[in-house]
Amino acid sequence: MGSCQSRATNPIDAALLQALIQAKKDRHLKGLTFNELLLKFPKMAAGFRKVRKYFDMLDLNGDRVIDMREFTSQAHKLGLDMSLQDLTNVFDAADIDHSTKIDVFEFVLVFVVVHLLSPERAAALPPEIRTTLEIVEDAFCCFDASADGYLEKEEVQTALCTTNTPGRTTKALSDKLFAQLDFDGSGGISFKEFLIGLEKMVMEEFDDEDGEEDEEAAAARRDEEARLLAATRMKRQQQQARQQQQQSRSGSGSGGHGQKHSSSGGGHARAR
């Protein structure tokens, strides 16, 4: 496997790699397992959904990919006031499959460039996106024990290791996960591969077919659910009250028959 620099062919890729290596040195992070990362998936889903809103904004013809023309003409909407050459480098850095187009998963890499390399622009990003990228960056730095900007098989296996999953089961799982994330088959998982792999996992788990609800729609839905729940409870209470009334009438009626029978029995006893 080559050196860090030999793996980064794009100028922005090299800058991202150095930023991650420096972040690993600067941050004092506690150990993190993959299970602990899974618990953060709901927060990450909110950020990825926000990224997709920007994707839809730049996807002018609605073909679910963004080409170079769309990106360079619309990049100002992301706060990227760069030269054409710099925008081209950002586009190339996000286009990890070299298709000359950026799909909905690759698009998040544009925000990685902003977040890691431009602190003043990063501060203007929506908080959901910042939170998601910070979670992924922290996880990657924790898993990257060698601090070389790439995850090796052994590092992925260590991240998956818990007291509940030792031995061959963990190795098989880590090998499978590694194969899924090592898109280019280089034998090491870059941060970009790690991020896109996590994005796919998160969105498969949390993405709705109908898309994300806005706050007003979500509030209306919650109000309707509360109204239906209250109506159901009231109906149940009314049914219980009617049942209690019926049982009370039935009990008083059977009590009266019992008294007549007892009185009759007493009369026969005196006759004998």
Query: Domains in the chain and their CATH numbers?
Result: 11-203 (1.10.238.10)
Query: pLDDT averaged over consecutive 10-residue blocks of the chain (272 residues)?
Result: 48 83 75 83 94 94 95 90 90 92 95 86 89 92 87 86 55 80 85 92 74 52 60 69 77 53 44 42
94 Cβ partners below 8 Å, 6+ apart? 102, 106, 107, 109, 110, 113
CA dist., res. 137 & res. 191, Å (int) = 8
CA dist., res. 160 & res. 171, Å (int) = 9
CA dist., res. 54 & res. 45, Å (int) = 15
Say what the pLDDT of residue 211 is: 45
Predicted TM-score (pTM) of the model is 0.68
Say what the pLDDT of residue 260 is: 43
Say what the pLDDT of residue 119 is: 81
Which H/E stretch holds residue 171?
A: helix 168-181
DSSP-assigned letter for residue 78 = G
Is the Cβ–Cβ distance between 189 and 180 less than 8 Å? no
